[in-house]
Amino acid sequence: MDLLRASLHKVRIPEPTNRIHKDECCVSFDTPRSDGGLYVDMNSFLAFGRDHVAWNFEKTENPVYLHIVQRRKPDPEEADRPLKKPTLLAIGVEGGFSEQEPEYDVTYEIVVLPEFASLPFPSVDLPEKVRLAVDKVILAESADRKQQLASWVADKKLISAHAMDLQQLDNGVIVPPNGWKCSKCDKTENLWLNLTDGMILCGRKVWDGSGGNNHAVEHYQQTKYPLAVKLGTITADLEGADVYSYPEDDSVEDPLLAQHLSHFGIDFSSLQKTEMTTAERELDHNTNFDWNRIQESGKDAEPLYGPGYTGLVNLGNSCYMASIMQVMFSTHPFISRYFEKQSLKAAFAMSQADPTLDVNMQMTKLAHGILSGKYSKPNQEGQVGIRPRMFKSVIAASHPEFSSMRQQDALDFFLHLIEKVDQANPGDHQSNPFSGFKFIVEHRVQCPSGKVSYNTHSENNLSLSIPLHEATNKEQLEAFHEKKAAMDLDGKEVSSEEIVRPRVPLEACLASFSGEDEVPDFYSTALNSKTTAIKTTGLKTFPDYLVLQMRKFVMGEGWVPKKLDVYIDVPDIIDISHMRSKGVQPGEELLPEGASSGDKVEPARPVANEDIVSHLASMGFNYVRCQKAAINTSNTGVEEAMNWLLSHMDDPDIDDPISQDPMSAESTIDEASVQTLLSFGFQEDVARMALKASGGNIERATDWVFNNPDASSSVSADSSASNVKDEDPYITDGSGRYKLMAFVSHMGTSTHCGHYVAHVLKDGRWAIFNDSKVAASVDLPKDMGYLYFFQRISS
């Protein structure tokens, strides 16, 4: 008691805004149900397992902890109680996911470090401040629980106020099923169909130069036609369609979308019924075939336990994340960076004040959780696995999709993970485990003049189209289609066992990537006109790890996304040496640089994010000031821009027009700041652009670089020059021979629904990682992969 009274100044009474962690240790996966229970720091409200709480005391000198221990109550009837299947995507409501779990006895005590002296709780002998603080911690919603509920609730869209009485013009517009292009520019992606007049226009321009040219929003500003639907998101049942309301400035639901689309010749009333029936049949086939085969259902698989065989509990459509992370922590760079060379204690010591928000800390926590074997032990249910909730929270922070409970594309998450790891290791290429995944792609374009241009950019994966015409079982396919047509006439259905799918060799997919492509509307500086050029693509470097994505998802008739029902024959070993590009060859003549008129391509200038500017302008601020605020905060967000604006209201040049001369900002750049960014490993042109965009602030400039991964390619618009340094020491290169070490498979009709599973080659045998279930593979579905991971074979 004396020790506690002497430490009362270190005890805080939590405020409603405090994040209280009491479900899981912030540096391990220990919980109140683990041996030793959980210790909640009564100053920071972070939680620690028994083996780690002393580290927190050493770092913070916070001595007072609430010790929580949960022990399961025996329930002999539990095994016979059937589980009720949820029918509603919600938690704790009728028809939703049940909150009922096995019951536990919970005990509390106050522990004072370093002696680990304990005092019972509740107790009237405890100081009032301690009693009040502990009561509030016990009654408060935990940080994990708040995050979980927020993710579920965030998905609901409101019905637009403009949907029910939407005006549609009788202008005779009939929208074709494909081949769409912006009506005001050449953009063929990020296109929006205005539901009033049928205009197809490109979306907003993004800060990094991607996206559209703002033609859709400009059209609304001119016409006030309120609703638009994004092409490529329209599915047969219309539930996944992305409808945007400009006056409401949000994604909305349009209950009459089928009617609004049919106005422009898109008949979804009949298509929906037919397609729903098709979807039901596909679901049956998936259930009976794809799902069973990919998950190896019905096989007498041996459960696997121990280091490297730890399952990841599904947090609600998180299988895409689990599959990717199981593969990543089976590669040498990730094992070395976050496990072999990084202890939990060292990661915690280097982490920020709140380790739950530190990417490196949570990556290390996940690595030790998967690779230590501590949480991979058999029990009566097979394997409990670990819940990577803190990892998902920090890796998906501020991302509208990954922070939700919706299913996501595994490739999108892989690329997002690369970005987050890059940000956590700025300029430290040796510590970045993704350095071995990066490679340089080189494009060679030859125009009819015979002259050529070379262009390079870096990639982390190869996206391969699937040439169905290269199928090796064409005779069987023809026989199957004839049989199916006859059965359709008789009103019979083909069983899943009778279906014959195309078999396409991986070599054909790789050949399609590196083969010749026509480039229409290519502007030749040799001919001073547009022409059709021939492009070939190769790899200038070969990475340590090669990731291949199979483009199984294509746009069908009526804009309905469909999944190719195809097998890919993937060998265990591939050799892509023939795909190596060799740059400019003797006798080749490069296309002249720039336009023939001598006009120089201006360097890219920072552009304010229109969403941020609009938000600030709606509050009554001057438009130019809003633009400056967005630019000077690197388009980080509305709050950051607002803070900048309020602190610069009295600047003498606050109302001056934004300079259109990129050289004016160039002259004000501090060379010392440039050198600092160069020391981080950034290119000089990128460093200068980032400093211009961030007003010379090094920290914001660093953020700008990571938020603009394409900046290195935009600083040089020279068609004949390389965008990547030929001798970048941080891009690995070597033999073109690879062995298959893992693949991620997808079940379902879209990347945004269904289920993902990973198969990984470990210890000489294939293992299947299906969320928390880990087992030896019996019938390897190697021909059904979506992402394939190859490791270079050392020469």
- Catalytic annotation, residues: 319, 755
Report how far residue 227's alpha carbon sits from residue 193's, in angstroms, rounded to the nearest whole number: 9
Report how far residue 231's alpha carbon sits from residue 672's, in angstroms, rounded to the nearest whole number: 47
Run of H or E including 784 = none
Report how far residue 631's alpha carbon sits from residue 606's, in angstroms, rounded to the nearest whole number: 7
**Residues recorded for the chain:** 795
DSSP string, 43-75: TT--EEETTTHHHHHHHH---EEEEEEEEEPP-
DSSP state of 291: H
End-to-end CA distance of the chain: 67
* Radius of gyration of the CA atoms of the chain, in A: 29
**Which residues, in sequence order, are bridge partners of residue 500?**
none
SS (H, E, C) 208-249: CCCECCCHHHHHHHHHCCCEEEECCCCCCCCCCCCEEECCCC
CA of 669: how far to CAs of 163, 377, 431, 681, 691, in Å? 50, 58, 30, 18, 7
Beta strands 553-555 and 561-563 are antiparallel
CA of 474: how far to CAs of 240, 468, 481, in Å? 35, 10, 11
Token pair 């202008």 is found at 171
Report how far residue 603's alpha carbon sits from residue 693's, in angstroms, rounded to the nearest whole number: 12
State residue 381 phi and psi, 5-degree precision.
-100, 5
DSSP string, 532-551: EEEEEEEESS--SEEEEEE-
Of 430, 432, 410, 429, the residue nearest 421 (C-alpha): 432
Q: Is the peptide bond before 122 cis (omega within 30 degrees of 0)?
A: yes
Of 122, 181, 191, 133, the residue nearest 15 (C-alpha): 133
CB 659 within 8 A of CB 631: no
DSSP state of 572: S
Report how far residue 534's alpha carbon sits from residue 480's, in angstroms, rounded to the nearest whole number: 38
